[in-house]
């Protein structure tokens, strides 16, 4: 299964070290369970989005791991991919960037012809260009369109796009993380895949998180002092404050460690897919641990 990670310490910029390994300093021991791509997204001091993406497992690229060692940002998004749709290429590797925002998704959406037809209703040039072949990037394009329709209201755009997909398309999961230079949004829908949130005050120990499959470890000494909110596919340490997000729960983290949460999709999808409905290769991507 793909792994999602998001973090906000805004307005504080912090250094976070990403080890895409099974042990803290050993590329050779990295998990092979998500072999199809790895990506990390941050923002430069001028607000420019910066992505490090590779379409292969992290253990295959030593230079990539070195680049990920000392990244600085107020928001972070990371994704370890097990491909469900789209071949192995940079264009299909999360996180994606549109209108200066970064986005990563875990799940499966079907009915791509219907989604592309919906995007086409805006006319040429009015929707963001899609360079890859994934359902995730097309879902992001729908989100971006809805944000544009709402004069830049990111939260309203995400909710509108998710509701459209939940009503019109067969879907397995829509879990997502979206970031700007100083804000983070996350959605879990429906209850197919878990998504956890940790509201972490400052003034404590440094951050040191490791996923259960050990494909991603994140360390930040700076967060000994700065507060942050972390979103991840599973609890990444034994901190008792981790909690599972509810199905349909939508969170927003704004500057100053302000976390808001509401259930925006209380109902089941119109066309909810089960694992048995998916092509075997797609099912494997969603069931891998």
pLDDT at 173 over 90: yes
Q: What is the pLDDT of residue 217?
A: 67
Residue 223 has pLDDT above 90, yes or no: no
Higher pLDDT, 190 or 213: 190
- The token pair at 216 is 């991603």
**pTM across the whole model:** 0.86
**Average model confidence (pLDDT) for the chain?**
81
Q: Is the pLDDT of residue 40 over 90?
A: no
pLDDT at position 180 is 98
In SS3 terms, 28-74 reads as HHCCCCCCCEEEEEEECCCCCEEEEEECCCHHHCHHHHHHCCCEEEC
Facing residues of 41 across strands? 51, 77
Which architecture does CATH list for 3-107+174-287? Answer: 4-Layer Sandwich (3.60)
| pLDDT attached to residue 259 | 97
Chain centroid to CA 95: how far?
A: 7
How far is the C-alpha of 87 from the C-alpha of 155, rounded, in Å?
A: 30
- Taking residues 248-263, report their average pLDDT: 97
Distance in angstroms between the alpha carbons of the first and the last residue of the chain: 6
User: How far from 286 is each of 1, 25, 99, 143, CA to CA, in Å?
Assistant: 5, 28, 29, 23
pLDDT tens digits along 134-148: 888 999 999 999 999
Asked if 36 contacts 83 with a C-beta cutoff of 8 angstroms, the reply is: yes
């Amino acid at each position: 299964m793909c792994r999602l990670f998001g973090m906000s310490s805004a307005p504080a910029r912090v250094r976070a070290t990403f080890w895409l390994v099974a042990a803290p300093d050993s590329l050779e021991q990295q998990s092979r369970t998500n072999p199809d791509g790895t990506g990390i997204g941050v923002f430069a001091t001028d607000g420019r989005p910066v992505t490090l993406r590779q379409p292969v497992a992290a253990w295959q690229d030593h230079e990539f791991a070195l680049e990920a060692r000392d990244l600085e940002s107020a928001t972070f998004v990371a994704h370890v991919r097990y491909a469900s749709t789209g071949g192995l290429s940079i264009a299909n590797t999360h996180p994606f960037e549109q209108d200066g925002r970064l986005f990563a998704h875990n799940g499966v959406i079907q009915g791509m012809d219907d989604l592309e037809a919906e995007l086409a209703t805006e006319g040429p040039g009015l929707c963001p260009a899609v360079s890859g072949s994934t359902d995730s990037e097309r879902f992001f394009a729908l989100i971006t369109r809805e944000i544009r329709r709402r004069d830049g209201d990111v939260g309203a755009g995400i909710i509108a796009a998710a509701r459209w997909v939940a009503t019109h398309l067969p879907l397995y999961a829509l879990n997502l993380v979206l970031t700007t230079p100083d804000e983070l949004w996350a959605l879990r829908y429906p209850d197919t895949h878990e998504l956890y949130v940790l509201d972490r005050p400052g003034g404590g120990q440094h951050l040191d998180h490791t996923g259960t499959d050990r494909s991603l470890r994140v360390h930040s000494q700076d967060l000994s002092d700065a507060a942050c909110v972390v979103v991840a596919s599973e609890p990444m340490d034994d901190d008792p404050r981790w909690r599972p997000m509810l199905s349909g729960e939508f969170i927003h983290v704004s500057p100053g460690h302000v976390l808001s949460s509401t259930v925006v999709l209380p109902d089941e999808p119109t066309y909810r897919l089960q694992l048995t409905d998916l092509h075997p290769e797609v099912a494997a991507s969603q069931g891998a641990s």
